[in-house]
Amino acid sequence: MSSIVRTSALALALTSATLATSALAQVIATPQEHGEHQQEFVHGAPQVPSLEWTIAAGGRIYDNWWEALDRDAPEGTNPVYPVSINTEQTGEGTWRCKECHGWDYQGKDGIYRKGSHFTGIAGIMGMQDAPVEAIVAKLRDTNHPYTEEMISDAEMLRVATFVSKGLIDMRRFIDYETRTVNAGDVERGRAIFQTICAACLGFDGRAMDWGAGDAHNFVGTEAAELPDEVYNKISNAHPGAAMVNLSAFTHDDRINLMAYISQLPVGIDD
Ligand code: HEC
């Protein structure tokens, strides 16, 4: 009898705790951390890599190779970065593939055709479906001063596989005037989000917050403002984080997920 009373008192306490947390999203501060047991998933490689794993691993190198590969960040500005054209970007960021070619792989013809990331450098869509050897040759030319200590040949093969097999023309689902998502099946996206992403992000996408200070950056905020960047994160995962990715899902399903997450709450009070 007394145990039943205690159980229902506990149930009541749990219910009010749940109510309290859903009224205000429970935010954690360090979403990037991962445990020792996840080191292999985050930075290592499987013994028999699938094409889907290889594409996602290459996509994370494209995003930020030193975070993806657990290396030291490069020192100073990339010597081939066009500092005379863009004076805003300096330091380690200029070594990221995405900084010159864009999150949408379209370089000067895409999202980076204007604004603080403009370089005038071409995109990489022209090498979609190209043989990986031809892509690796480009990645070892003078436009790309990466040493083998920075990115090894085996790792370059992953990036090349991503360039050959992992790209998509984002004009399929992003309005380039407003930089917002304009395609996808929200209900299918809801199903994917609730069964996969919500494990870490919560059902309303506010269990993780990348905002600094008083600013709140939830997955909904990011998807509404930077859909091209978020598409890379959902396809390949965030470099250095124990995050799942949708590389084994079709691009259509990833677009469906974008449609759903771009209408999640963007602020703490929504
Ligand atoms: C500092 C700027 C910069 C960075 C960073 C950079 N690239 Fe490039 N990349 C270039 C330039 C410049 C070219 C030559 C573009 C041209 O032909 O007009 C190029 C060409 C390419 C091409 C050939 C495109 C084609 O159609 O011929 C590919 C593929 C490519 N880069 C991939 C990458 C990848 C992958 C990374 C990261 C490992 C990377 N780039 C990092 C500047 C950069």
Q: Could you read off the pLDDT of 124-157 as tens digits, one per residue? A: 999 999 999 999 999 999 999 999 999 999 999 9
The reply to whether 34 falls in a domain is no
Q: Which atom of ligand 1 is nearest to the CA of 163?
A: 29
Tell me the torsion sign for CA atoms 123, 55, 171, 219. negative
Shared domain check, 242 and 142: no
Shared domain check, 91 and 195: no
Q: Tell me how many domains the chain contains.
A: 2
List the domain range (segments joined by +) for residue 203.
169-270
The reply to whether 24 falls in a domain is no
Shared domain check, 55 and 116: yes
Question: How many angstroms separate the alpha carbon of residue 152 from the centre of ligand 1?
Answer: 17
Please report, as a single letter, which amino acid is at residue 178. T
Shared domain check, 69 and 124: yes
Mutate which of 96, 97, 125, 135 for ligand 1 pocket (most atoms within 8 A of beta carbon): 97
Whole-number Å distance between alpha carbons of 5 and 120: 70
Domain's final residue, options 134, 167, 200: 167
Question: How many angstroms separate the alpha carbon of residue 24 from the centre of ligand 1?
Answer: 44
Residue 269's pLDDT is 86
Domain's final residue, options 143, 167, 191: 167
Domain's final residue, options 167, 186, 213: 167
Q: With a 6 A CB cut-off, is 100 part of the ligand 1 pocket? A: yes
Angle at 138 between CA 137 and CA 144, to 5 degrees: 120
The reply to whether 115 falls in a domain is yes
Question: How many angstroms separate the alpha carbon of residue 82 from the centre of ligand 1?
Answer: 12
The reply to whether 15 falls in a domain is no
Shared domain check, 256 and 148: no
Closest CA to 268 of 211, 223, 201, 229: 211
The reply to whether 19 falls in a domain is no
Q: With a 6 A CB cut-off, is 122 part of the ligand 1 pocket? A: yes
Neighbours of 9 (CB within 10 A): 10
Q: Are 188 and 254 in contact (CB under 8 A)?
A: no
The reply to whether 260 falls in a domain is yes
Q: With a 6 A CB cut-off, is 18 part of the ligand 1 pocket? A: no
Shared domain check, 226 and 111: no
Q: Which atom of ligand 1 is nearest to the CA of 160?
A: 35
**Tokens 């990645």 belong to which residue?**
139
Q: With a 6 A CB cut-off, is 80 part of the ligand 1 pocket? A: yes
Q: With a 6 A CB cut-off, is 135 part of the ligand 1 pocket? A: yes
The reply to whether 239 falls in a domain is yes
Shared domain check, 173 and 159: no
Residue 270's pLDDT is 83
* CATH code of the domain in which 239 resides: 1.10.760
When pLDDT is averaged across residues 219-231 and rounded to a whole number, the result is 97
pTM of the model: 0.90
Shared domain check, 231 and 157: no
**At residue 183, does pLDDT exceed 50?**
yes
Tell me: the pLDDT tens digits for 35-70?
899 999 999 999 999 999 999 999 999 999 999 999
Shared domain check, 254 and 195: yes
Percent above pLDDT 70 for the chain: 88
Shared domain check, 151 and 57: yes
Shared domain check, 149 and 51: yes
Q: Considering only residues 4 and 102, tell me which one the structure prediction assigns the higher pLDDT.
A: 102
Q: With a 6 A CB cut-off, is 115 part of the ligand 1 pocket? A: no
Tokens found for residue 140:
């070892």
Q: Are 28 and 209 in contact (CB under 8 A)?
A: yes
Atom 10 of ligand 1, nearest CA residue: 143
Shared domain check, 73 and 137: yes
When pLDDT is averaged across residues 234-254 and rounded to a whole number, the result is 97
Q: With a 6 A CB cut-off, is 160 part of the ligand 1 pocket? A: no
The reply to whether 23 falls in a domain is no
